[in-house]
């Protein structure tokens, strides 16, 4: 069992607030934010350093998070294409190292019953088939790479009684139309077998759901991709893109990359002026993450956790939470007592031996353009 001192002051390099709408062009080589995931992911893998000048490549991938690295990995594995990956900062610097680490078999904020209402049953079935395939891919990746996977399904907690009828209908649609082994649980069953959430009015239990250490997973993608010939260049921001006679000219501070194809996988920290296809495709999202300090066995018992299944509630601005795997960290910062934390117990992320104290509040951006293998439900 690893023990790690989590001391934010130990992080070196600039980690100033970055806002793609107002920060200067050319921000680069920023260090990781001092999150729990960064503190416990281990040494980042070797990379190829900032791109020093001009370069040519068949495929350029802009962004080195889940989407960019998994794209590079599958291009190399399945098609023999050795792509180049560039990032303005470090590998997995933004959303990939600042999310809840919960993987679910879903897409966006619409439920499957709402897919049918909006697009019809035939289209809904096709969308579901695509998501099943991608989630199966994600499950295989979490088994292949060391990322502290926690399979077991997903609990959708009704935080109000009126949500129970909605979840019951969704449970029936998922079972009867899409063939999932879903079931409804009463508040008493949830408290007895899963978690003592005092606002729970009942639960939709879905069979698909996995908790992961997101940065460990991204580091695994990167190591494998580079072993297959992929080049990864952090500290290489893209300034603009022009297409000349079918060749994309991607300008960076130190030179131009000429590529036959360019994939944008930058998620939320993307400037609107990088490319016309990205204009007006981002929106600001504010999210808070909390990992508690190490708890005594008595304190851990008082939380009511009896499961490591990932959990989400039905709020529009959701709480999502879970028990973390067996890893103990010591916080260099003082942590609030469990009594003071009780009002926000909905986003505890705890280990079986205790919990870690770290509070992050940040303004971030989520791109409407999505992609990648697997369905990760993340906020940053």
Q: Token digits for 36?
A: 């729990």
pTM, rounded to two decimals: 0.81
Contact (CB, 8 A) for 182 and 207:
yes
Q: Token digits for 54?
A: 């001009």
The string over 183-217, giving b where at least 16 C-beta atoms fall within 10 Å of a residue's C-beta and e elsewhere, is ebbebeebbeebbebeebbbbbbbebbbbbbbbbb
CATH of 3-98+215-284, one of 3.50.50.60, 1.10.3720.10, 3.40.50.2300, 3.40.50.300: 3.50.50.60
Contact (CB, 8 A) for 356 and 292:
yes
The four Cα atoms 319, 322, 327, 329 give a dihedral, to 10 degrees, of: 30
Q: pLDDT tens string for the chain (380 positions)? A: 333 333 333 334 445 566 777 776 655 678 888 888 999 999 999 999 999 999 999 999 999 999 999 999 999 999 999 999 999 999 999 889 988 899 999 888 899 999 999 999 999 999 999 999 999 999 999 999 999 999 999 999 999 999 999 999 999 999 999 999 999 999 999 999 999 888 899 999 999 999 999 999 999 999 999 999 999 999 999 998 999 999 999 999 999 999 999 999 987 778 777 788 877 777 667 677 888 777 777 877 888 888 889 999 998 888 888 888 853 222 222 233 333 333 333 333 433 333 322 222 222 222 222 223 322 222 22
Contact (CB, 8 A) for 285 and 365:
yes
Contact (CB, 8 A) for 58 and 343:
no
The four Cα atoms 209, 211, 215, 219 give a dihedral, to 10 degrees, of: -70
The confidence score (pLDDT) of residue 326 equals 55
Measured distance CA(335)–CA(53) in Å, rounded: 47
Task: Please state the φ and ψ torsions of residue 330, each to the nearest 5 degrees.
Answer: -110, 130
Measured distance CA(123)–CA(116) in Å, rounded: 8
Measured distance CA(269)–CA(284) in Å, rounded: 10
The confidence score (pLDDT) of residue 109 equals 83
Rg of the chain over CA atoms, in angstroms? 21
Measured distance CA(138)–CA(140) in Å, rounded: 5
The confidence score (pLDDT) of residue 284 equals 61
Cα dist from 227 to 102, 127, 141, 207, 352, whole Å:
27, 33, 16, 34, 35
Q: Which residue is it, tokens 């969704």?
A: 170
Contact (CB, 8 A) for 218 and 32:
no
Helix 121-144 / helix 214-227 crossing angle, nearest 10 deg: 80
Q: Where in the chain is the domain with CATH 3.50.50.60?
A: 3-98+215-284
The confidence score (pLDDT) of residue 111 equals 94
* DSSP code per residue over 268-309: TS--GGG-GGGTT-EEEEEEEEEEPPPPPHHHHHHHT----S
Angle at 323 between CA 320 and CA 325, to 5 degrees: 130
The confidence score (pLDDT) of residue 272 equals 75
The confidence score (pLDDT) of residue 288 equals 76
């Amino acid at each position: 069992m690893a023990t790690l001192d989590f001391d934010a002051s130990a992080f070196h390099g600039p980690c100033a607030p970055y806002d793609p709408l107002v920060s200067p062009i050319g921000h680069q080589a920023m260090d990781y934010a001092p999150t729990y995931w960064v503190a416990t992911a281990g040494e980042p893998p070797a990379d190829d350093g900032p791109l020093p000048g001009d370069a040519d490549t068949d495929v350029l991938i802009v962004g080195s998070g889940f989407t960019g690295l998994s794209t590079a990995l599958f291009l190399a594995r399945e098609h023999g294409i050795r792509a180049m990956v560039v990032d303005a900062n470090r590998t997995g610097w933004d959303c990939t190292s600042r999310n809840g680490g919960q993987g679910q078999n879903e897409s966006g904020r619409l439920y499957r019953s709402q897919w049918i209402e909006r697009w019809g049953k035939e289209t809904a079935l096709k969308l579901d088939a695509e998501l099943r395939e991608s989630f199966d891919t994600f499950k295989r990746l979490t088994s292949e790479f060391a990322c502290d996977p926690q399979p077991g399904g997903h609990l959708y907690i009704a935080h109000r009684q009126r949500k129970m009828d909605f979840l019951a209908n969704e449970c029936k649609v998922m079972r009867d139309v899409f063939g999932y082994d879903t079931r409804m649980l009463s508040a008493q069953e949830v408290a007895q077998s899963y978690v003592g959430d005092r606002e729970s009015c009942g639960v939709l239990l879905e069979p698909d759901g996995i908790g992961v250490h997101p940065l460990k997973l991204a580091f695994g993608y990167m190591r494998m991709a580079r072993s297959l010939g992929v080049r990864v260049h952090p500290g290489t921001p893209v300034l603009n893109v022009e297409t000349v006679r079918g060749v994309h000219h991607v300008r960076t501070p130190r030179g131009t990359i000429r590529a036959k194809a360019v994939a944008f996988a930058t998620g939320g920290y993307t400037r609107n002026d990088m490319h016309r296809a990205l204009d007006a495709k981002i929106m600001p999202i504010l999210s808070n993450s909390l990992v508690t300090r190490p708890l005594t066995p008595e304190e851990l018992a008082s939380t009511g956790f009896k499961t490591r299944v990932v959990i989400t509630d039905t709020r529009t601005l959701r709480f999502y939470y879970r028990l973390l795997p067996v890893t103990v960290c010591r916080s260099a910062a003082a942590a609030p007592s469990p009594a003071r934390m009780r009002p926000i117990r909905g986003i505890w992320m705890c280990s079986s031996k205790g919990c870690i104290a770290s509070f992050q509040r940040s303004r971030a951006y989520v791109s409407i353009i999505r992609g990648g293998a697997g369905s990760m439900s993340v906020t940053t």
